[in-house]
């Protein structure tokens, strides 16, 4: 078992800063961010589920992406908020591994969901007449199933590799969550095998998903260029803009997190990149997709009118 293979069973998360005067302000800022993130993502899921007009492949994928973002934020932010106000920054080995697994699964799933959404845009723009046939409900569910299965299986390999390590040098993780590379730094065992396998699999997944998105959009842009109608081209670009912005934020942040020199300034900046990746992107995605989507805005604007209508009916009864 894990207890027999490790000398350290609890870790200390140092968090974002050790300055006492910043703890409460940071707590308030990230509490607002967390609540907004959860309300935004779960609100989108509820909206897509409640309105039959939004039971289409695009909104099914958006709802799945919102769920992945909610899980990502839920895995990291609550513990970070607790540490802002607590003197005890301890986290057990089980909590640490669970936190890493949930976050890594959500992030991996998001990679494949972005590919699926790119393919959806490709079919909608390049083969609009065949779209209802190609993107059938069964096929969409299969795409989502594959995305979640791969997304949740890949981190299991990383977790399994952690069990070959022992932790005895230090139990202090100089980070705000249990990031796997930070665990390698405090391991007594040689983590080079872990790092090699994780790097290989991660590069393959990131490269495969990113290139799939690029290829899909190459076909999309060629199809848009062939459109004779200026209105049609504008509409097609508008359809892709939100997804392209989300993809850019996601992969640019990944690039800055994992592809930079190992100097001390870069290591300090790594916290900021991770913070953006774990808290800001899940916050921004609901706004990116809702504010750029007329149907979502229309449905949201109907809620106050529906509530007034229901209240008047209740009073009359």
Task: CATH number of the domain at 276, please.
Answer: 1.20.1070.10
Give one DSSP letter per residue of 132-191, joined into a string.
HHHT-HHHHHHHHHHHHHHHHHHHHHHHHHHTT----S--EE-SSS--HHHHHHT-SS--
271 vs 143 pLDDT, higher one? 143
Which of 118-122, 165-169, 289-293 is modeled with the greatest confidence? 118-122
Tell me how crowded residue 11 is: count the other CB atoms within 10 A of its CB: 22
Tell me how crowded residue 145 is: count the other CB atoms within 10 A of its CB: 10
The total domain count for the chain is: 1
83: tokens are 């540490």
In this predicted structure, the answer to whether residue 233 has a pLDDT above a threshold of 80 is: yes
212 within a domain of the structure (yes/no): yes
The pLDDT tens digits for 72-93 are: 999 999 999 999 988 888 998 8
| Contact indicator for 147, 186 with CB cutoff of 8 Å | no
What angle is formed at CA 52 by the lines to CA 48 and CA 57, rounded to 5 degrees?
60
237 within a domain of the structure (yes/no): yes
CA distance 54 to 261: 45
1 within a domain of the structure (yes/no): no
314 within a domain of the structure (yes/no): no
CA distance 51 to 186: 50
How many CA atoms lie less than 13 Å away from 160 in the CB half-sphere? 7
CA distances from 123 to 78, 120, 130, 292 (A): 39, 5, 8, 20
317 within a domain of the structure (yes/no): no
267 within a domain of the structure (yes/no): yes
Enclosing domain of residue 275: 10-308
CA distance 59 to 151: 20
Over range 209-214, report the average pLDDT.
Answer: 94
**% the chain with pLDDT above 70:** 86
8-state DSSP, 278: I
pLDDT at 26: 93
Burial status of residue 48 (CB atoms within 10 A of its CB: 0-12, 13-18, 19 or more) = buried
pLDDT at 242: 87
Over range 114-120, report the average pLDDT.
Answer: 95
In this predicted structure, the answer to whether residue 259 has a pLDDT above a threshold of 70 is: no
pLDDT at 204: 87
Over range 141-157, report the average pLDDT.
Answer: 92
2 within a domain of the structure (yes/no): no
To the nearest whole number, what is the mean pLDDT of the chain?
84
pLDDT at 258: 63
166 within a domain of the structure (yes/no): yes
């Amino acid at each position: 078992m894990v207890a027999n293979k490790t000398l350290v069973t609890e870790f200390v998360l140092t968090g974002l800063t050790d300055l006492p005067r910043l703890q409460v302000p940071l707590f308030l800022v990230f509490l607002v961010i967390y609540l907004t993130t959860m309300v935004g993502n779960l609100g989108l899921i509820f909206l897509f589920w409640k309105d039959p007009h939004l039971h289409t492949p695009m909104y099914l994928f958006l709802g799945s992406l919102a769920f992945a973002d909610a899980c990502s934020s839920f895995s990291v932010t609550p513990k970070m908020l607790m540490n802002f106000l607590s003197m005890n920054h301890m986290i057990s080995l089980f909590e640490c591994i669970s936190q890493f697994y949930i976050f890594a699964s959500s992030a991996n799933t998001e990679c494949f969901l972005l590919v699926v959404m790119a393919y959806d845009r490709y079919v909608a723009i390049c083969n609009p007449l065949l779209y209802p046939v190609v993107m059938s409900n069964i096929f969409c569910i299969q795409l989502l199933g594959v995305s979640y299965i791969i997304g949740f299986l890949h981190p299991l390999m990383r977790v399994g590799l952690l069990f070959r390590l022992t932790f005895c040098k230090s139990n202090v993780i100089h980070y705000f969550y249990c990031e796997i590379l930070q665990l390698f730094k405090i391991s007594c065992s040689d983590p080079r095998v872990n790092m090699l396998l994780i790097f290989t699999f991660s590069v393959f997944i990131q490269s495969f998903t990113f290139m799939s998105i690029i290829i899909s959009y190459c076909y999309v842009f060629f199809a848009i260029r062939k459109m004779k109608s200026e209105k049609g081209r504008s509409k097609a670009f508008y359809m892709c803009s939100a997804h392209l912005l989300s993809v850019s934020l996601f992969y640019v942040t990944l690039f800055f997190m994992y592809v930079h020199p190992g100097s001390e300034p870069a290591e300090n900046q790594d916290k900021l990149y991770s913070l953006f990746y774990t808290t800001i992107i899940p916050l921004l995605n609901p706004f990116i997709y809702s504010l750029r989507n007329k149907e979502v805005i229309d449905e949201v604007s109907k809620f106050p009118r529906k509530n007034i209508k229901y209240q008047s009916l209740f009073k009359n009864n």
